[in-house]
Structure 1
């Protein structure tokens, strides 16, 4: 179907003829042989991981605070509801003005996009804890730190893992358009660069690589972050 749509059904002068499978495969081989694809993939993955790390370092503690404190929850709910509905890419002009050109704006946009699933997943996990567990811990004179480490953190682990997996998908989607804005490396930049040269075969080749990497990242997240089931007795 791909070959028919881009070869048989397209007009001879159409640029879509460049996106036929045979041309895309050659473009992909050329990107690999020149080392461009490996370099830009490594840069994109670096930005993704740093952005996710920042989102986790902010989202998990903040989610615990909001979930455990009713006062903090009442104060933070309007702000969270307001900020999380703003598109991360709308922060681009301010981000570039603050951080300049380079990886920092991209990492910031990834962190802004990924922090909300982590934060909300943590809050949901805290709210799902059976209050009886906390009552028992308090009756045994457990300190707040002991309650946190012995009751809260084990109980919210699954929700935090689900939030991180969801954040990974959102961050990967935001990464590509963020790399089209004032950077000279990364997979998003390669799409923009190939488009400017009217090299649509390379555009589709990089898109295919982005889809394949996204699938592999989600598969890795499922394997690493999936909740472990206890063996049946």
Structure 2
């Protein structure tokens, strides 16, 4: 009885692949490993930053009393002290309120403008140079006009934050519209869709990744502008708290507020990045599930 030699399946025959559950487990394991690697790298980076901070403010390196006062062994306890006094939480909430208000104004203005410019080639050519000119003006340059028009309070700060955040939103909206497949719009028109239906069902879903990227850039820019904008005479906010601590010559508290500003900015950027990654991963996940569903059917 002769031994049978296994032969390869015909070229058109389907090949066996790993079960979906096994593939899912492998992907989850890789994802956990990647997250662990990123977490380790992040912790190592922050540890290096702390060591440099401590070394650059050590009495053996500097003899300036102000620099010694902002050392981590003084600034970090000052953070806890400001929290215990009930100072940081109200100021952080005031800053976040102004930040979100400015971003809302920037979105209300920037998205429609970006859609109009992106959908009209002649309008884009006419507005390109003026937009680039206005975009290169520092938002803080508008401070005297903002105070003259809106007075002292929330309004000028919100205006300056919106002036900083509107351009990333406009530019990314235009880029998203320009990168959209025009065939989608043609198909929708051939099916009798109205302009409103095309905008809501075709254009906005297609430019969602570009919009989210624009919001992330706008968030970072607005947060950077917010702190100096809160030094205009308002009586709350993290920027005001920096000036208040400086006037008291409490430089450990100045550094404590700076640390809180950096921590909140890092947290906001991380949340926006996670949202952007999740939105980008959702279409890919649906695409990988579609063939399995079709095979079962």
Which category describes the TM-score, using the shorter chain as reference length?
over 0.9
- Runs of 4 or more consecutive aligned structure 1 residues displaced over 6 Å after TM superposition: none
Q: Shift in Å at residue 26 of structure 1?
A: 2.6
Aligned to 1:9: 61
Q: Which 10-residue stretch deviates more, 52-61 or 133-142?
A: 133-142
Among residues 137, 150, 154, which one is paired with 2:205 in the alignment?
154
Deviation per CA, 1:35-75: give whole Å up to 9, x if none. 11011000000000000011111111110111111232233
Secondary structure in 2 aligned to 1:182? coil
Are 2:215 and 1:164 equivalent residues in the alignment? yes
Deviation per CA, 1:68-125: give whole Å up to 9, x if none. 1123223322321221111000000000000001111110000000000011111001
CA distance in 1, matches of 2:138, 2:209: 27
CA distance in 2, matches of 1:108, 1:152: 29
Give the length in aligned residue pairs.
Answer: 232
CA RMSD of aligned residues (A): 1.4
Are 2:82 and 1:31 equivalent residues in the alignment? yes
Aligned to 1:224: 275
Are 2:168 and 1:91 equivalent residues in the alignment? no
Aligned to 1:77: 128
Gaps of 5+ in 1: none
Q: Which 10-residue stretch deviates more, 78-87 or 52-61?
A: 78-87
TM-score between the two structures when normalised by the length of structure 2: 0.75
Deviation per CA, 1:126-171: give whole Å up to 9, x if none. 0011121122222222211121122111110110010001100000
Bigger-Rg structure (1/2): 2
CA distance in 1, matches of 2:112, 2:175: 13
CA distance in 1, matches of 2:55, 2:71: 8
Gaps of 5+ in 2: 1-50, 290-297
CA distance in 2, matches of 1:154, 1:16: 51
CA distance in 2, matches of 1:77, 1:172: 26
Aligned to 1:112: 163
Among residues 96, 109, 125, which one is paired with 1:45 in the alignment?
96
Using CA pairs below 8 Å that are at least 6 residues apart, which structure has the higher relative contact order? 1
Write the mapping of 1:129-208 to structure 2, written as runs, cut at 5 A.
129-208=180-259
Q: Shift in Å at residue 5 of structure 1?
A: 2.8
Deviation per CA, 1:3-30: give whole Å up to 9, x if none. 333232222x622111122211232122
